Amino acid sequence: MTLTNHEIHQLLNEKYDQFNRSSFIESDPISIPHLFTKKEDIEIAGFISATIAWGQRKTIIKNANSFVESMDMEPFDFVMNHNQKELKRFADFKHRTFNGIDAQYFITALKNIYTKHNGLENVFAQHPNNMQQSIANFKRIFFEINHPQRTQKHISDPLKNSAAKRINMYLRWMVRNDKRGVDFGLWNKIATKNLMCPLDVHSGNVARKLGILKRTQDDWKATVELTESLKQFDNNDPVKYDFSLFGLGVFEKF
């Protein structure tokens, strides 16, 4: 398929408008943080949901829902005030390779981040103009306390050329503020123009078919290439086209 740049731009804008609306929420992991209104609850529920966002979407939503239910539907209060007995509720949690050991450490690490580092936004915003450094720094802080070795694999490291798809998606949720009701726009310390487009097998395949991504691996270098390509269509908000690429790939089998 060979489309002109103008045709690609038109298609991406059309699909962005089609998929970036509240009807999208129900079938997407973003539905879990949408259960909450308090900033910290949304941040934590969003972070957990994004972390386990691989595999079947229905299963992701079911398991993320179960996770926040085990926090008594008060994620921030649970993170800050849980005791060891309450933490054991998560001993049998499982989503793919993310298990109870990981779940319990995530809650402990989040408490450390809110207690010692002034919260998730503050940690990610330490490198606001460079998401590769921002995510790598977040991983360093997330694992600065005693942790199970196995849990490290659940936070990607773009310095090791990981696409970090799920964290980029999470950052999109927290930062983008277009008043359309899907993304939250809760964080203002990172500019939307500095976000990186979440890249997975679906968005990568669509981008390659459209000719806006040449690199064959879905890694950080491809994430950079794709985001740079999307900037020609909207320099201030390139990741809005995540809706377009995802929708074309998952819903329309483009």
At 109, the amino acid letter reads A
pLDDT exceeds cutoff 80 at 165 = yes
Domain membership flag for residue 99: yes
Q: What angle do CA 72, 78, 83 make, to 5 degrees?
A: 110
pLDDT at 252: 85
Q: Count structural domains, the chain.
A: 1
pLDDT at 254: 84
Per residue in 15-74, pLDDT (tens digit) is 999 999 999 999 999 999 999 999 999 999 999 999 999 999 999 999 999 999 999 999
Range of 82's domain? 5-249
CB count within 10 Å of CB 161 equals 15
The Cα 192–Cα 34 span in angstroms is: 20
> Residue 244, by phi and psi: left (phi above 0), alpha (psi -120 to 50) or beta?
alpha
At 40, the amino acid letter reads E
Domain membership flag for residue 254: no
pLDDT at 92: 97
Average pLDDT over residues 118-146: 98
pLDDT exceeds cutoff 90 at 2 = no
pLDDT at 250: 87
The Cα 63–Cα 45 span in angstroms is: 12
pTM value?
A: 0.97
